Amino acid sequence: MSMPDADADDLIRPIRKPTRAYFLVAALAGIASVVFVAAYILQLSQGMEVTGLSDWGSGGGSTWGLYIGTFIWWVGIAHGGIVISAAVRLLKLEKYEPVARIAELLTIGALSMAGLMIVVHLGRPDRVVWSVVQAYPTTVHTSPLAWDLTVITLYFVLTATYLSLTLRSDVYRLRDKLPDILDPLYSLLLFRYDTDEDPVVERMAWWLALAIIVLAPLLLHGGVIPWLFQLTPSMPGWYGGLTSPTFLSAALSSAMGGVIVVCFVFRKVYTNWDKVIPDDVIWGLGWWMGIFALIFIWLQLQRMITGLYAPPLDVETVMTATAEFWLYWVAMLLMFLPLAYVAFQHFGILKFSERGMLVAAIAVVLGILVEKTLFTVEGLLYPATQLYENTPGNYFPTWIEMSSVLGTTGLIILFFLLVSKLIPIVELKSVEHGGHGEEEAVADGGVETETCAEGAQEGGD
Amino acid sequence: MSTEEPDTGYSTKHSYGPEWEEESREVLSEVDFDTELGIELARDAQRLSQGKISEEEFYSRHSDKVNEEFGIDARPTDPRSSEPLDKDTVEDALNDDVVAEPVPSKYADAANSGDGGEGGDGGNDGGGDGNGWSDDEDDGVSRRTVLQSVGVAAAGIAAGTWSQRNPSGIWDEGEERNIQPAGPGTGGDETHLGFVIDVDACIGGAHCAIGCKDENQTPDGALWNFVFQYQEPDRDSEEYLIRPCMHCSDPPCVSVCPVRARHKRTEDGIVLTDYDICIGCRYCQVACPYGVNYFQWGEPDEERWRDNFLSNHDSVDDRLDKRGKHVAGPQHEKGIMGKCTFCVHRQDSGDPELENTTACEQACPVDAIHFGDLNDPDSKPRRYLREVEGRSEEAGNLAGRDTTDPDAEWQRPRHVPRWRFQEQYGTRPNVIYVGHQPSADAEWVDEPLPYDEYVSDFGHSMTKSREGFDNAPSDRKLRGED
Ligand code: SF4
Ligand code: SF4
């Protein structure tokens, strides 16, 4: 029953038709979010002692834990937007145009969740704005955490600008198909819109993409986020220049994974969306996910071999502890198996499968969450000073902390559910000029193998 | 800062006591050279290491005699012209067991840190130009022979003691010249409060930790001052290490704080947390190499702290310092960070009885803690350092003693180490330790001090149970060793 090609009607289908699945997903995501909010209220009223965290030192525990791990995780996933926008705008990989806006929305959502995780992590969230602002002129010179807040805010603003700029012409052209009830929103979006601005916007978008690509990978997960850790010489598990590249590869692989998951859902839920987002886009995303996972694993190998072969004693302690902890190897497997899966597809041993790619993507996303949390905690449990070796303590996240992972995931889902009802989440022009090749593929009757080979070729370039 | 420099001379096992004297004499009498000269050289080497005599003085004092004895004095008379100490020379000396084992950096990395490099220069200057000594072989005096005589005593001590002459820039020339300046960028004339802590005097009663708790009403489990207990394989006694906040001159906790709640008070160098600004991110705790920060994890018992606080403070306003900032006492609100404040409320009290004192210092029954202005030569810590210096000096001074009388009952001389903790992170700590420094072989005692049994006068517990929320296995390690 699928139509030969995707068109504008397909794009706005999510806006028009709330399905049963929609409400079901909304309900589940809502529950997760509510549990998270409840847990947070409990934490606010009783203090941070409801977490498994405690003072490192004579307290024996880890003062940063799952909250920080989840923070790193969300910032990493937020890298998807920039990678894909850059591919589309700067590298002219128009194939990825259909997922560009989804990725940007994911960036906006994930950055918000990262910000939320910081707030949840704080002992005194009520003060955060004023305290940060009043000291900012000084702290921006010295505090990696101030740098983090700066870069994350910048990234958020740039992405939001980019998104709204590119959204205007789409909304304008689809205006009559969009629901009247949302009129005020669209009027706001189209404030002073003029069709003449399109070429200007196109150029601005190019520059914005360039700015973001310099900012995000080089400064965010390749910079200020790992700097929170790697600039601490007294924590041998963190210290060292390898931390940044490891973080960046983790970010990019999980970002690709995140985009795959979102695309999969939209393709499944809405009729004809497997034409809006064709197989070879999913394949291409998966291919890049594999590449980044490979780099990640390779960097882990460097970290391990350096930390275990002939390390200083303090490095040896933390690296041995990490190497002996089964959870670390679970994380590595969660990265390695998807890599192998993608490689097998590439070599033609396995056929491309949408579901297979979804599972691989989820594995990568989870693998990074586990690894980043472990990285944070192991670093703090094995500081350079061994003074506290016989003061007991431990860290294991409580359900309150764990609810933050589910809760933020739920919030992101709600965010997508909401946004997909308000604006077209795929750029109009991707169905306008992207349809042709698709038609041929369908005509050949060999979408699966065809696109797979195509994707492989593209990846090999 | 060098990590290669061997940290040598501090084991009391090989101090320059009667045993040492005995040993040296034995070895020296087996060779043909002048025993007295060897001993004297060694003594002067030690004096030099303590800054009692200058290098030039040292060389000129013995040049003639050395010439006479060996036919050549290959030691450089201009110390600046010396080349790096020949490794073999040092090793030979070490093998002869005159100096203690080098101390690598397992526990107290400070052992190898600080200005050890600088000290190493001293060793090179005095220990002799290794190449020069080797050249002596041409003159019919093998390097080995020379080492056996002068070397056992002088070169050994030179390589050992001199390389440790000023291991961490704590004292020099009999005067504690390198005491940290006050706040960053300020000169050495300004007030900088700090501790001199004699860990050898410590008896491990944790009175300081309890006294601090009573005075500051810190949260359960917070130990602003903490006493560690450990053992050295070659020493019978238990050793203690008292750990307050180091009130660093270059504190990483201050640099990383995103809101400037953690700051260094410029007038006296105290590192404080502004409890009204702190957002509880705990980054300061993460960045501090010493683990001295304690977070307020739960809701403090308002009634309890207020009553208790008022029992030894005039008003709750004591929590404001003289600048009006809320930095004194513990953090009486949940979600903010605290640590040792050098009892800032005492320093700001205007009461001469309280100024320049801390609760831990007062609580210590054996006077192990000395608090005051490190830049003031008359302060308690500086006076104590001088006293210690005197002890070392006296120990090394043989003048007037009958060194030929084998039965003389000498007081065992003592070279007292002075060091700062974990200096390799560039924090410039303002706590100076006197006494034994944990070696690489230090081991934790099986039974740490029973903090959970200590109860402060106010009923605070020293440890914190996290009942209800602690779902952690009993083992400390996340990996769950079994
Ligand atoms: S010891 Fe730690 S908390 Fe104290 S000043 Fe130094 S870095 Fe800061
Ligand atoms: S916990 Fe408070 S004092 Fe420490 S870094 Fe964070 S805001 Fe600063």
How do residues B103-135 score in pLDDT, each as one tens digit? Answer: 222 222 332 333 333 333 333 333 333 332 333
| Gap between the Cα atoms of B102 and B114, Å rounded | 15
As a whole number of Å, the end-to-end CA separation of chain A is: 35
Residue that is written with structure tokens 């006591």 in the block: B17
Percent of chain A with pLDDT strictly greater than 70: 91
> What rounded mean pLDDT belongs to chain B?
65
Chain-chain contact of A321 with B479 (C-beta, under 8 angstroms): yes
| Gap between the Cα atoms of B50 and B395, Å rounded | 12
CB atoms within 10 A of CB A320: 15
Residue that is written with structure tokens 């080349």 in the block: B83
Chain-chain contact of A48 with B297 (C-beta, under 8 angstroms): yes
**pLDDT of res. A402:** 95
* Pairwise pLDDT comparison (A128 vs B39), residue with the higher score: A128
pLDDT tens by residue, B16-27 = 445 545 555 555
Nearest to A64 among B105, B109, B282 (CB): B282
Is the model's pLDDT at B2 over the cut of 60? no
DSSP character string of B329-371: S---STT-EE-----HHHHTS--TTTTT--HHHHH-TT--EEE
Region A41-68: mean pLDDT is 91
Task: Dig out the tokens for A373 from the structure.
Answer: 């949390």
**pLDDT of res. B25:** 56
Chain-chain contact of A143 with B425 (C-beta, under 8 angstroms): no
The residue to mutate among B254, B288, B295, having the most atoms of ligand 1 within 8 angstroms of its beta carbon, is B288
Is residue B371 within 8 A of residue B341, CB to CB? The reply is: no
Q: Side by side, which strands form the sheet with B431-434?
A: B369-373, B193-198, B431-434, B418-419
pLDDT tens by residue, B42-76 = 566 556 655 556 555 655 565 555 555 544 444 43
Q: Report the gap between the CA of A182 and the closest CA in chain B (Å).
A: 39
Give the closest ligand to the alpha carbon of residue B261.
Answer: 2
**pLDDT of res. A272:** 80
Is the model's pLDDT at A4 over the cut of 80? no
Q: Report the gap between the CA of A402 and the closest CA in chain B (Å).
A: 13
| Gap between the Cα atoms of A156 and A278, Å rounded | 28
Residue among A221, A245, A209 nearest A92 (CA): A209
Is the model's pLDDT at B274 over the cut of 70? yes
**pLDDT of res. B285:** 96
Helix axes A399-422, A20-46, angle to 10 degrees: 140
State the fold for domain B193-375+421-453.
Answer: Alpha-Beta Plaits (3.30.70)
Q: Report the gap between the CA of B190 and the closest CA in chain A (Å).
A: 24
| CA atoms in the 13 A half-sphere facing the CB of A166 | 30
Q: Per-residue confidence at A35, pLDDT binned at 50, 70, 90? A: very high
* Pairwise pLDDT comparison (A253 vs B205), residue with the higher score: A253
**pLDDT of res. B59:** 56
Tell me which of A210-214, A372-376, B382-386 is least confident: A210-214
**Strand B443-444 versus strand B262-264 pairing type:** unpaired
Q: Report CA dihedral (B297, B302, B307, B308) to the nearest 10 degrees.
A: 0
| Gap between the Cα atoms of B461 and B452, Å rounded | 7
| Gap between the Cα atoms of A79 and A72, Å rounded | 11
| Gap between the Cα atoms of A60 and A393, Å rounded | 4
A125 near B CB under 8 A: yes
Is residue A412 within 8 A of residue A110, CB to CB? The reply is: yes
**Strand B431-434 versus strand B193-198 pairing type:** parallel
* Pairwise pLDDT comparison (B12 vs A70), residue with the higher score: A70
* Beta partners for residue B243, in sequence order: B226
Is the model's pLDDT at A437 over the cut of 80? no
List the CATH code of the domain at A8-383+391-449: 1.20.1630.10
Partners of A56 on chain B (C-beta within 8 Å) are 285-286, 291
DSSP state of A94: G
The residues in B 38-67 lying below 8 A from A, measured between CB atoms, are none
Chain-chain contact of B261 with A49 (C-beta, under 8 angstroms): no
CB atoms within 10 A of CB B178: 17
CB atoms within 10 A of CB B77: 12
Domain ranges for chain B: 193-375+421-453
Q: Per-residue confidence at B160, pLDDT binned at 50, 70, 90? A: very low
**pLDDT of res. B232:** 84
pLDDT tens by residue, A18-27 = 778 889 999 9
pLDDT tens by residue, A290-327 = 999 999 999 999 999 999 999 998 899 899 999 999 99
Domain ranges for chain A: 8-383+391-449
Residue that is written with structure tokens 């290490």 in the block: B241
Q: Report the gap between the CA of A266 and the closest CA in chain B (Å).
A: 38
User: What spacing in Å lies between the alpha carbon of B258 and ligand 2's midpoint?
Assistant: 7
pLDDT tens by residue, B347-356 = 998 889 999 9
**Quick one: closest CA in B to A322, which residue?**
B479
Choosing among B297, B420, B421, B437, which should be mutated to test the A contact, i.e. which has the most A CBs within 10 A? B297
User: What spacing in Å lies between the alpha carbon of A450 and ligand 1's midpoint?
Assistant: 62
**pLDDT of res. B392:** 63
Chain-chain contact of B286 with A235 (C-beta, under 8 angstroms): yes
pLDDT tens by residue, A169-198 = 888 888 888 888 888 888 888 888 888 888
Region B232-255: mean pLDDT is 89
Pocket of ligand 2 from Cβ distances under 6 Å: B 257, 259, 261-262, 273, 278-284, 337
Position A124, amino acid: R
pLDDT tens by residue, B393-447 = 655 555 555 555 555 444 444 567 888 988 889 898 999 999 888 887 777 776 6
Pocket of ligand 1 from Cβ distances under 6 Å: B 245-248, 251-253, 271, 288, 290, 292-293, 339, 427
Ligand 2 atom with the shortest distance to the CA of B256: 5
DSSP character string of A140-174: HHH-HHHHHHHHHHHHHHHHHHHHHHHHHHHHHHH
A377 near B CB under 8 A: yes
Tell me which of A257-266, B136-145, B429-438 is least confident: B136-145
Instruction: Kindly state the helix (H) or strand (E) to which residue B371 belongs, with its residue range.
Output: strand B369-373
Query: Within chain A, what is the greatest distance between any pair of CA atoms?
Result: 71
| Gap between the Cα atoms of B272 and B284, Å rounded | 11
Task: Dig out the tokens for B73 from the structure.
Answer: 């004095």
